[in-house]
Amino acid sequence: MTGTQHTDFNPIRRFEWNGLAYLLGKHWFNLFLIGLGLHLFLHKDISFQVNINAKEGIPLEENILPDGQKKGATNTSMMQAMPTSYKITQPAAQKKRNKKKPTDNRAQTFGNLTFILSPTYARRHQIDEGLVQQKIGYCQEYVDRFAEVAQAEQRKYGIPAAITLAQGLLESNVGDSRLSKESNNHFGIKCKRKCKGCTCRNYTDDDIYDMFRVFDTAWESYREHSILLNGARYKHLLKLHPDDYKGWAKGLRKAGYATDKRYAEKLIKIIEAMNLTQYNV
């Protein structure tokens, strides 16, 4: 026949293509998950764990490459859609090699004077040098703040500035104790039996009957300390040379300024470590 175009039409082939397109359109996400799983399983440098009982919505851990560097965290929207959770970890040998030393965050567990009273403590316990210098820096800031006050008190009352500063550092925990922060009392000064116009306060960490003076300023605390050491109990110490800090420290302990048996030893260590005799006038 002339003028007629012949078309090769195969209904079976067309049906097969339509069926395949339908299956791909309906199950594309499941096929995607299967492909993703095969890709992870066949990757030779990582281990693959499937937790069938994992709860939906638990964040996935970050992927860790064999060289120890991290990839970006998994997208959370995809994570919630997955029926299982995946944990990708390094082989045990690589974990051990790439393990980092934890950061030392123990600043609050040490007293401000710990590394002065025990100079070898940091080395023996492998304490970070930055933390040690931070604590020593607090001590120096305290000295810088009150050095002139201590010198003025020495000129007026004869108490060596080195002794005053050392006692202030020790008694107030470098100005960080409750007594010094809440009451401006830097020397543990207690109330007198006859204290007219004085404000006193008790702290639960001391004896229930111990009442401590409350001062309006830290300077008033320093002045009261000078007056106290000029009293009958301590006045004999004024006969010592101002630079005889060991004699002063032992004399204060013997006269009963503190009950700590190591009180004199601590004062001496603080004076020597901080070179406080340089502030004597």
Q: What is the pLDDT of residues 108-128, one digit of tens each?
A: 678 899 999 998 998 998 999
DSSP reduced 3-state for 158: coil
pTM tops 0.85, yes or no: no
Cβ-proximal residues to 173 (8 Å cutoff; 6+ apart), any chain = 111, 112, 113, 180
More confident: 79 or 203: 203
Residue type, 193: R
Residue 38 has pLDDT above 80, yes or no: no
CA angle 171, 277, 139 (to 5 degrees): 45
- What is d(CA 156, CA 154) in angstroms, rounded to the nearest whole number? 5
* Nearest alpha-carbon partner for 265 in 138, 118, 141: 118
For 121-177, give the secondary structure using H, E and C: HHHHCCCCHHHHHHHHHHHHHHHHHHHHHHHHHHHHHCCCHHHHHHHHHHHHCCCCC
Which helix (DSSP H) or strand (DSSP E) does residue 50 occupy?
strand 47-51
The residue-averaged pLDDT of 181-194 equals 89
The residue-averaged pLDDT of 88-112 equals 51
Residue type, 9: F
Confidence of residue 32 (pLDDT cuts 50, 70, 90): confident
- Domain range annotation of the chain: 11-98, 108-279
The residue-averaged pLDDT of 144-152 equals 98
More confident: 226 or 34: 226
Enter the CATH code of domain 108-279: 1.10.530.10
The residue-averaged pLDDT of 225-244 equals 97
Centroid of chain to Cα 86: 34
The residue-averaged pLDDT of 12-35 equals 68
Residue 101 has pLDDT above 90, yes or no: no
* Segment among 106-110, 176-180, 247-251, 277-281 with least mean pLDDT: 106-110
The predicted pLDDT at position 58 comes to: 39
Q: Which residues pair with 86 in a beta bridge?
A: 50
Other beta carbons less than 10 A from residue 228's beta carbon: 17
Residue type, 101: K
